[in-house]
Amino acid sequence: MQYRTASSGSDWRKRLTNTKVSVPGTAGYAEQADGLIESYESVNFDELYRPLHEFLPGGGKALDIGAGTGRDAAALAAKGFQVLAVEPTAALRAHGQRLHPDPNIAWLDDSLPDLSQVHARGERYDLILMTAVWMHLDEDERGRALPRVAALLAPDGRIFMTVRKGPVPAGRRMFVVPIEPLVAQAQSLSLKLLRQYEFGDMLGRRDVSWTMLAFEKGNRV
């Protein structure tokens, strides 16, 4: 299925963005959306994902889960990807559509762990991106979510993700994410670990750090 252009798909985009979903992991984001724009947009995709640059597919279809203000979706679109940007917080989606009105980005109101609307489209993706998303899921949700994400990968498709470590901001819902069980579950789903990388916070928060992971779908790990 081909993505529609802005001229042919405006009604389709409106239908996608008008769906209402209640998502516990989005707690605090709607209220703070306006104040998050500057910090979100200040991080450069290429700088953030530089450790995984060699694993970035040359193009194709990309799924950006938890797309926020669309910063990463826009960067991928500029690299030739057709991007489905999934963001359950309406205020952030609205900012993303305003800031990055790219015809190669389609926006969808959907969320982990089920991604029911994404699955309903029947598409597979060469790249799935989850930036600062996984820590919003509790252990049971993470266990449900990874098979749903893995099932959306095209053959040899890749997952890039970052996982936050540090104190939980007031009003937010976050959990500690042990990395070893995450990698083990990924391997059980035929996702090969390509790289694991630890790095400091790009917004300068001394009590926050991150783990970056890249996986590739294959028949065997």
Q: Is the pLDDT of residue 220 over 60?
A: no
Work out the average pLDDT over 200-211.
91
pTM (two decimals): 0.84
pLDDT computed for residue 36 by the predictor: 58
Stretch 54-81: mean pLDDT: 96
Domain assignment present for residue 5? The answer is no
Q: Where are the alpha helices (DSSP H) in 43-162?
A: 45-48, 71-78, 90-99, 116-120, 139-150
Q: Is residue 141 part of a domain?
A: yes
Tokens 């690299």 — which residue?
79
Q: Residue 3: inside a domain, yes or no?
A: no
Q: Is residue 1 part of a domain?
A: no
72 within domain boundaries: yes
By residue range, what is the domain housing residue 96?
A: 10-217
What are the Cα distances from residue 97, in Å, to 66, 100, 106, 182, 203?
A: 14, 5, 9, 32, 23
pLDDT at 77: 98
Residue 4 counted as domain residue: no
The predicted pLDDT at position 219 comes to 66
**Which domain CATH number covers 92?**
3.40.50.150
The answer to whether residue 51 is domain-embedded is yes
Residue 48: inside a domain: yes
Domain count, the chain: 1
